[in-house]
Each structure stands twice: as structure tokens, then as C-alpha cells.
């Protein structure tokens, strides 16, 4: 039985907290801390309503996750074994610093990104390796779905199917409909910064840069649909090509509907996606922050969401028998099913469940080792077993090339 702090109270945090409530033999007490405590209070109220038999105790607190001293005080007062960071990527380093000072383990779902630059990479967090190792603490980076489960899928391919991974394609399809003219499925600011940035993929030892949404192809997502998918840069590519040096090419694909792209193009064209502050009535504000304020909150989309998501990893390379092989591991999740279970849409669900699983594996000692780690560096088998148990069943498809060269 373990005490944990969840920092953040958005859609993903709500899912993670509710899955902790379901898993009450591991999570004895959970504190949800966020800047706007009413959002945390709402999550706890829903837990009491929908999971009345859970033995997990929940409480809430106000916290400024940019303030290391405040974080240290909160952690010392509550006394958790670990912190699950579901706040903004800008706050990863301050939370890691607080965990080091207080001697608790750390987990997040997205790598660090500077507030004033649309750039994300693991270098800032990998630099903490010696500090966490020296203190006997573990930091698990990017334990959502993508990143997170996609890295476990890659590790599973390497352990059970391939002697050499040569071509890696991560695919992410949201074939759902929330009924809004324009909305993002997770934090609008992070989502839009990611999509409007230049794309990148790994080819023969170097990174190839593309224009935003420049490269696309139609991809069949099993049991869901064939959808036009676009190459983006996604953070797990950086760690996967490092830890699997046999990879010759690695790409990340995501689906976007025509309406979404049209709205985004207009907003970008008039400067609403800019992160550069402008002065409005004597105040400095980045247009993207204003846009975030007027767009629907991702967690508000859940009630009327229909359709499914399909996220997976296709690998081509040399199989365990020494012959060429192509293999695909994936999960399909229904938005309405997620709402019935935890009052969330599938994009929040597929990120929040792996965060709970990663925390569980660390707390049970299955994955606990000092230092800073990416998911693919750890044994994928217990993670897969937990995915199948806790709501994200995995499927495999061999011999069919869904993503073309």
C-alpha cells in the first residue's frame, strides 16, 4: 500500500486517479495537487460517486508547480513514495528537483519543453541521471501511451519477435467525433505547438526535417478505419533510436481530419498559434494562451464523444528465425466505453492508464531501479500484462504491412 501525489487535474489526471481508486490494493492514499483546486475537488467527487467501494483515500491541495520550494513543502507534508507528474511539460524539471530534494520517486507522461520555445527533447531530463542514481531514486519518463506504451511495444517486438529492428513506424489514429467545430484532445497549447512545428523523422543515422504536415499516406487502422495520416516529430523517436541502434528509419504518424486542418491553418495564418507574447491592454500575453482559454477543455469533450482510437507500432526487420518480418502491435479503444467507465474520452484514457500502470510497477518493485529511464529500457512483459488487465487490451498482426515505405 503506497501514498502518491498526482500533480495536475486535467483529463489525464482524472483517469489516472480513478484507475488508482480501482487499484486500491496498491494505492492507499492519493493527493491531487493543482493550481486550480476546484478541478481536483471535482475529480475526487466523481471518484466518491462512481467508485464508492474503493479503499483508496483521496485529498486535494493547491500547488504552483513552477515553485520548487512550494513543491518541496507539499511533498514533505504528505510524505508520498512517488510523484506522478501530469502537469505541463514546462514544469517537469521543477518537479524533478523537488523529488530529488525530498527523496521520492518520479514519473511523467511527456518530456520537458521550454515555455518560450516550441522545442522538446530528452537532454534536459537525461542530464538528471547521476542525481537520481546517487540518491537511489527512480525517474520514469514518458509513461503515457505515446510516448510510453509505444516504447513498451517496441521493446516487446525486440524481446519476442525480432533480432534486429530496422524500420519503425508509430501510428496514432483518433477516429472519433466530439461534435465541436474545433477542439483539441489534450492540452490545446501543447497540442497546437506540436502540430504546427516542423516534422522530423530518423533516416540512416540522421534526422530529416519536413514542413508541418508535409508527408502523408493513407493507413489502415485495424477494426477502425483507413485514415490519412501525417508525419510529425514525437519525443519517443529520440529515445528509441538511441536504445535500438539497429533502426534505419523511424517515423511517427497521426491522423487529422480536413476540418481540423482547415481551422488550424486559419488560426496559424492570423497569428493565433504564436507563442510570442504581444501587448493587450498593458498586459503581455501569447496568442496561443488566449486561444487555449477560449477552446473547449479536453475533459469537457468526453460525454458526447463517439468512435475509436487506434494506436500501435509497426516493425520491419530480421525476425527471431533470421528471416525478414513485419509485425504490428496495437490497441483499439472506444470513446463511449471510456466515458462509461471513468467519465473521460479515449485520448485521456490511453494516456492516464499507462501512467497508473507505470506507477504501480515502480511501487511494487517490478520496475524500480535508481536513475532516469525511458519505458523501452524496462521489461515490457509486466507492462503488457497490466495493459490487458486494466483496460487497454493489446492485439498483434503479423505479415501485413500497414505503413508503406
pTM above 0.85, yes or no: yes
Q: Which helix (H) or strand (E) holds 141?
A: strand 138-141
Q: Does a structural domain hold residue 338? A: yes
Rounded-to-integer distance, Cα 4 and Cα 7, Å: 10
**pLDDT value of residue 165:** 98
Q: Does a structural domain hold residue 78? A: no
* Beta strand segments in 320-380, E: 324-334, 371-374
Instruction: Output the tens digit of pLDDT for each of the chain's 405 residues.
Output: 799 999 999 999 999 999 999 999 999 999 999 999 999 999 999 999 999 999 999 999 999 999 999 999 999 999 999 999 999 999 999 999 999 999 999 999 999 988 777 677 899 999 999 999 999 999 999 999 999 999 999 999 999 999 999 999 999 999 988 877 776 766 666 677 777 888 999 999 999 999 998 999 999 999 999 999 999 999 999 999 999 999 999 999 999 877 777 777 777 777 877 878 888 888 888 877 777 777 777 777 778 899 999 999 999 999 999 999 999 999 999 999 999 999 999 999 999 999 999 999 999 999 999 999 999 999 999 999 999 999 999 999 999 999 998
Q: Does a structural domain hold residue 88? A: no
**pLDDT value of residue 399:** 96
Q: Say if CB 289 and CB 116 are below 8 A apart.
A: no
Q: Say if CB 275 and CB 288 are below 8 A apart.
A: yes
What are the cell numbers at 343? 467519465
Q: Does a structural domain hold residue 255? A: yes
Contacts of 64 (CB under 8 A, 6+ apart): 35, 70
The domain that contains 250 carries what CATH number? 3.30.360.10
**pLDDT value of residue 186:** 63
**Host domain of residue 277:** 149-342
Q: Does a structural domain hold residue 55? A: no
Rounded-to-integer distance, Cα 293 and Cα 132, Å: 36
What are the cell numbers at 353? 492508464
Q: Does a structural domain hold residue 405? A: no
**pLDDT value of residue 154:** 98
> CA 307 → CA 193, 290, 296, distances in Å?
25, 29, 19
**pLDDT value of residue 185:** 64
Q: How many domains does the chain have?
A: 1
Q: Does a structural domain hold residue 310? A: yes
Q: Cβ–Cβ contacts within 10 Å for residue 283, how many? A: 8
Rounded-to-integer distance, Cα 108 and Cα 129, Å: 15
**pLDDT value of residue 385:** 98
User: Three-state SS for 336?
Assistant: helix
**pLDDT value of residue 286:** 81
Rounded-to-integer distance, Cα 172 and Cα 148, Å: 13
Sign of the dihedral defined by the CA atoms of residues 266, 269, 270, 272, in that order: positive
Q: Does a structural domain hold residue 45? A: no
What are the cell numbers at 40? 481536483
Amino acid at each position: 500500500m503506497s501514498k502518491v501525489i498526482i500533480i495536475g487535474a486535467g483529463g489525464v489526471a482524472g483517469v489516472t486517479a480513478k484507475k488508482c481508486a480501482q487499484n486500491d490494493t496498491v494505492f492507499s492514499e492519493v493527493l491531487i495537487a493543482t493550481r486550480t483546486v476546484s478541478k481536483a475537488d471535482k475529480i475526487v467527487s466523481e471518484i466518491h460517486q462512481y467508485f464508492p467501494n474503493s479503499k483508496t483515500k483521496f485529498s486535494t491541495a493547491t500547488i504552483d508547480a513552477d515553485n520548487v520550494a512550494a513543491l518541496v513543502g507539499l511533498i514533505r507534508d504528505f510524505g508520498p513514495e512517488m510523484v506522478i507528474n501530469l502537469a505541463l511539460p514546462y514544469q517537469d524539471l521543477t518537479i524533478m528537483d523537488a523529488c530529488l530534494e525530498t527523496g521520492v520517486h518520479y514519473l511523467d507522461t511527456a518530456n520537458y519543453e521550454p515555455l518560450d520555445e516550441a522545442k522538446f527533447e530528452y537532454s534536459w531530463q537525461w542530464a538528471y541521471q547521476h542525481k537520481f542514481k546517487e540518491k537511489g531514486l527512480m525517474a520514469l519518463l514518458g509513461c503515457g501511451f505515446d510516448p510510453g506504451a509505444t516504447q513498451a511495444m517496441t521493446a516487446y517486438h525486440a524481446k519476442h519477435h525480432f533480432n534486429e529492428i530496422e524500420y519503425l513506424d508509430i501510428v496514432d489514429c483518433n477516429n472519433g467525433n466530439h461534435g465541436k467545430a474545433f477542439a483539441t484532445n489534450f492540452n490545446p497549447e501543447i497540442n497546437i505547438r506540436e502540430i504546427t512545428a516542423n516534422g522530423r523523422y530518423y533516416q540512416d543515422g540522421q534526422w530529416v526535417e519536413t514542413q508541418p504536415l508535409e508527408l502523408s499516406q493513407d493507413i489502415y487502422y485495424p477494426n477502425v478505419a483507413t485514415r490519412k495520416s501525417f508525419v510529425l516529430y514525437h519525443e519517443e523517436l529520440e529515445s528509441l533510436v538511441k536504445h535500438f541502434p539497429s533502426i534505419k528509419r523511424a517515423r511517427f504518424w497521426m491522423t487529422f481530419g480536413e476540418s481540423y486542418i482547415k481551422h488550424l491553418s486559419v488560426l496559424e495564418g492570423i497569428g493565433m498559434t504564436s507563442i510570442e507574447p504581444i501587448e493587450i491592454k498593458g498586459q503581455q500575453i501569447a496568442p496561443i494562451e488566449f486561444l487555449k482559454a477560449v477552446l473547449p477543455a479536453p475533459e469537457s469533450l468526453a460525454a458526447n464523444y463517439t468512435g475509436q482510437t487506434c494506436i500501435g507500432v509497426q516493425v520491419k526487420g530480421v525476425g527471431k528465425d533470421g528471416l525478414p518480418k513485419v509485425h504490428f502491435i496495437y490497441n483499439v479503444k472506444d470513446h463511449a466505453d471510456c466515458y462509461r467507465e471513468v467519465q473521460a474520452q479515449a485520448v485521456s484514457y490511453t494516456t492516464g492508464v499507462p501512467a497508473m500502470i507505470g506507477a504501480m510497477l515502480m511501487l511494487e518493485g517490478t520496475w524500480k531501479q535508481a536513475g532516469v529511464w525511458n519505458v523501452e529500457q524496462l521489461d515490457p512483459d509486466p507492462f503488457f500484462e497490466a495493459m490487458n488487465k486494466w483496460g487497454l487490451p493489446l492485439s498483434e498482426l503479423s505479415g501485413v504491412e500497414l505503413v508503406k515505405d
